[in-house]
């Protein structure tokens, strides 16, 4: 399948849409505590229309039903913790989830995967600020599918036999390369007990033997077969081996940091963003007349993330919401902050996400919810 996932003349399935979502907001980039991806739905079901929203409220569910939508892509996951029941009526999000399932509507969530992705929520805010070159505030290792490295110590005469057996069992794949390994010569030592029958030397005597350290990356689901293969082909009664879990290579991360096109008074930047995204609850922390030149962006709730950076009077934190004591920290650090409202800071990304999703699925109708609303209203 090409980059244009709708290039095939066959009907689009939910699984096709999920793959497009994965391209735009890779789930491996999400925070470990998050719940992203397909939360409910039949991957083989036909999908003609997708509805984008920030929050899956009952009003959004009814809109999805009225507009004949087959999938709702809700930025915030309506299923976050393990649930024991789905009931109606309910004061929690399980009622909205139940009504979607009962109506045959799938639910997908992007959340922190979209926060970290190129072209996601934080990049969208950076564009509104006029910033073109950014770096994440915090790189994430991402979610790994469970790769590990198996290290085994093998006599030189057995090295090819053991390595080939491990490769055949699934070890040694790195990308499109197969039979990948690393080998280091060294000296092994041991003294077997009275009941042992060592391949080299005698039981009860301290022995040294020239060995090769053999390393190979292994998928976790192949690990039992790889270990069994090395045991079967290794000449030792008790072969020594280690298993090391591997982390994914950091590629993107949460938040963005970059320089504004020109130094700008804090109040002017706050007013500009307020008008661009229609955020009536916009507030700022700091001297209104102070020029700021670098933006530290974390849409939604910034939390402690921006404070891990070295901040000075030229920096402005741009976020959705900030705790009172964090605002005091901003003042103590001598920097500035702009809060746009949690929902208001995230919602602009839906338009860009819709455009990008349409490029991957040109025959799919992508809608943005008309009833999704900021829960806070200005006076």
pLDDT per residue over 318-374, tens digit each? 999 999 999 999 999 999 999 999 999 999 999 999 999 999 999 999 999 999 999
Could you say which residues of the chain have pLDDT below 50? 1-3, 5-9, 143
376, part of any domain: no
Q: At what angle do helices 349-360 and 121-128 cross, to 10 degrees?
A: 120
89: Cβ contacts below 8 Å, ≥ 6 apart: 95
Position 204 scores a pLDDT of 84
pLDDT attached to residue 9 = 42
pLDDT at 174: 85
Whether residue 8 is contained in a domain is answered as: no
State the pLDDT at residue 246: 85
Do 18 and 107 reside in the same domain of the chain? Answer: yes
Q: What is the pLDDT of residue 141?
A: 55
300 φ, ψ (degrees, to nearest 5): 80, -120
Q: Is 102 helix (H, G, I), strand (E, B) or coil?
A: helix
Give the closest residue to 219 by CA, choosing from 152, 267, 167, 259: 167
Distance of alpha carbon 299 from alpha carbon 71, whole angstroms: 25
Is residue 171 within 8 A of residue 222, CB to CB? The reply is yes
Per the structure, the complete domain to which residue 213 belongs is given by: 148-245
Per DSSP, 201 falls in state: S
Q: What is the dihedral of CA 112, 115, 117, 122, to 10 degrees?
A: -170
The predicted structure's pLDDT at residue 6: 45
Residue 202: per-residue pLDDT: 80
Peptide bond into 89 cis (omega under 30): yes
Is residue 48, in this structure, part of any structural domain at all?
yes
Judge if 337 and 355 occupy the same domain: no
Q: Are residues 66 and 107 in the same domain?
A: yes
Give yes or no: residues 127 and 196 share one domain. no
* Residue 355 and residue 332 share a domain: no
Helix (H, G, I), strand (E, B) or coil at 163: helix
Contact 199, 239 (CB under 8 A): no
User: How are strands ordered across the β-sheet holding 256-265?
Assistant: 256-265, 291-301, 315-321, 336-339, 283-285
pLDDT tens track for 130-147: 998 999 998 875 545 568
Q: What is the DSSP string of 265-321?
A: EHHHHHHHHHHHHT-TT-EEES-TT-EEEEEEEEEEE-TTGGGGS---TTEEEEEEE
* 8 Å CB contact between 339 and 319: yes
Is there a contact between 22 and 101 (Cβ–Cβ < 8 Å)?
no
* Token reading at 327: 């605002």
Query: Which of 128, 186, 125 lies closest to 154, judged by CA?
Result: 186
Confidence at residue 2, expressed as pLDDT on a 0 to 100 scale: 45
Domain count, the chain: 3
327 occurs within a structural domain: yes
- Local structure of residue 39 (DSSP, 8 states): E
Q: Tell the residue number behind the tokens 């197969």, with chain if given.
A: 178
Mark whether 207 and 330 lie in a shared domain.
no
By CB neighbour count within 10 A (0-12 exposed, 13-18 middle, 19+ buried), where does 221 fall?
exposed
Judge whether 231 and 239 are in contact, CB under 8 Å. Answer: yes
121-128 vs 266-277: helix axis angle to the nearest 10?
A: 120
Residues 267 and 335 both lie in one domain: yes
Q: Give a yes or no: residue 116 inside a domain.
A: no
pTM: 0.76
- Please say whether the beta carbons of 318 and 335 come within 8 A: no
Which residue carries 């700091």 as its tokens? 286
* Predicted local confidence at residue 252, as pLDDT: 80
Q: Are both 239 and 310 inside the same structural domain?
A: no
**Is there a domain that residue 3 lies in?**
no
Report if residue 2 sits inside a domain. Answer: no
* Same domain assignment for residues 104 and 69: yes
Q: Is 46 helix (H, G, I), strand (E, B) or coil?
A: strand
């Amino acid at each position: 399948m090409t980059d244009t996932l709708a290039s095939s003349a066959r009907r689009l399935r939910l699984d096709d849409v999920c793959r497009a979502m994965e391209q735009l907001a890779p789930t491996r980039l999400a925070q470990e505590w998050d719940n992203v991806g397909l939360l409910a739905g039949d991957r083989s079901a036909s999908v003609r229309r997708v509805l984008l929203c920030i929050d899956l409220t009952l009003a959004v569910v009814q809109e999805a039903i009225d507009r004949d939508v087959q999938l709702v892509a809700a930025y915030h996951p309506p299923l976050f913790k393990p649930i024991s029941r789905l009931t109606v009526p309910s004061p929690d999000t399980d009622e909205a989830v139940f009504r979607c399932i009962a109506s045959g509507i799938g639910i997908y969530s992007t959340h922190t995967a979209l926060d970290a992705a190129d072209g996601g929520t934080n990049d969208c805010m950076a564009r509104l600020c006029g910033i073109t070159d950014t770096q994440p505030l915090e790189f994430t290792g991402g979610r790994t599918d469970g790769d590990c490295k198996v290290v085994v110590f093998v006599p030189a005469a057995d090295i090819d036999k053991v390595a080939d057996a491990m490769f055949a069992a699934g070890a040694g794949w790195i990308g499109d390369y197969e039979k990948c390994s690393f080998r280091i010569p060294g000296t092994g030592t041991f003294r077997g007990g009275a009941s042992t029958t060592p391949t080299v030397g005698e039981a009860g005597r301290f022995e040294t033997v020239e060995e090769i350290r053999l390393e190979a990356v292994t998928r976790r689901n192949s690990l039992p077969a790889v270990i069994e293969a090395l045991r079967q082909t290794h000449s030792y009664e008790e072969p020594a081996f280690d298993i090391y879990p591997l982390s994914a290579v950091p590629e993107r991360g949460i938040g963005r940091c970059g320089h504004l096109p020109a130094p700008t008074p804090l109040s002017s930047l706050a007013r500009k963003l307020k008008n661009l995204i229609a955020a009536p609850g916009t507030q700022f922390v700091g001297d209104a007349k102070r020029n700021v030149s670098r933006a530290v962006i974390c849409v939604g709730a910034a939390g402690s993330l921006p404070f891990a950076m070295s901040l000075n009077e030229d920096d402005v934190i741009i976020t959705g919401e900030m705790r009172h004591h964090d605002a005091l920290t901003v003042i103590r650090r001598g920097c500035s902050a702009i809060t746009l409202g949690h929902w208001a800071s995230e919602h602009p990304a839906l338009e860009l996400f819709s455009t990008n999703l349409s490029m991957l699925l040109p025959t799919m109708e992508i809608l943005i919810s008309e009833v999704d609303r900021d829960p806070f209203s200005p006076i």
